[in-house]
Structure formats: C-alpha cells, structure tokens
Amino acid sequence: AQSVSQHNHHVILSEAASLELGCNYSYGGTVNLFWYVQYPGQHLQLLLKYFSGDPLVKGIKGFEAEFIKSKFSFNLRKPSVQWSDTAEYFCAVTPALYSGAGSYQLTFGKGTKLSVIP
C-alpha cells in the first residue's frame, strides 16, 4: 500500500513570501499525485494534479508543483503568498495502474497548515 509524508505541520509566512511545502510518497509503481486545499470552514478542493508528462504542473491560484520521480517527491510552490492562501494543504497519491481493487485507494498525507500574516 502507498503512503504520503508531509514534512511540515504548520508553516507561518508573511504576505509576499515564497512558499514551498514538501510531500514525499512511498509506492513501488507509477502514481497519480494531487494537492488539495481546505480553506477554513470549507470542503476540500483540488489545487492541482499530476498524471503523466511534464513534471512541472500548474494549478489554480498561482500554485505549481514539481514531480521528481527519483526523489518520490511532489512539492507544492507559490512565488508570493497572499493572506487568502491561509488554509490546510494536503498531498495525496493513488496508483496509476490497475493491480487489483486496492489500486483505487486514494491516500492522503497528514496535511500542512499554512498561516499567512498580512
């Protein structure tokens, strides 16, 4: 089974600072990768996803992530954060190829809480 590790539990930044949130996964095969965001009081929504092709993926609201296969990493970045980016961010992984019913499992990390100070 796969697993996801997010290195930072809580990150505090000032507005306009650059952001990088770490995500590493553990799985022996090809994967699909996701970043989700949960704004206070709201449901989880997709920020961006990687399935194949260009390892640099662009998402909504100026976020991007880079898939580095050799490092099993999928770090989330944003050049300049805003107060409205205050939220909890979750990295998730699912196997890309079918190898039984367990392939449909979508596994999340523990999340990183981002607080942006105006």
Partner 1 sequence: DVKVTQSSRYLVKRTGEKVFLECVQDMDHENMFWYRQDPGLGLRLIYFSYDVKMKEKGDIPEGYSVSREKKERFSLILESASTNQTSMYLCASSHRVRHTEAFFGQGTRLTVV
| Residue ranges in contact with partner 1 by CB under 8 A | 1, 6, 9, 32, 34, 36, 43-46, 49, 51, 90, 92, 96-98, 101-102, 104-111
Beta bridge partners of residue 73, listed in sequence order: 24, 68
- CB hemisphere CA count around 107 (13 angstroms): 19
Looking at beta carbons only, is 42 or 70 nearer to partner 1?
42
Closest contact distance (angstroms) between CB of 80 and partner 1 is: 26
Residue 36: CB atoms within 10 A of its CB come to: 20
Looking at beta carbons only, is 17 or 32 nearer to partner 1?
32
- CB hemisphere CA count around 56 (13 angstroms): 3
Closest contact distance (angstroms) between CB of 90 and partner 1 is: 6
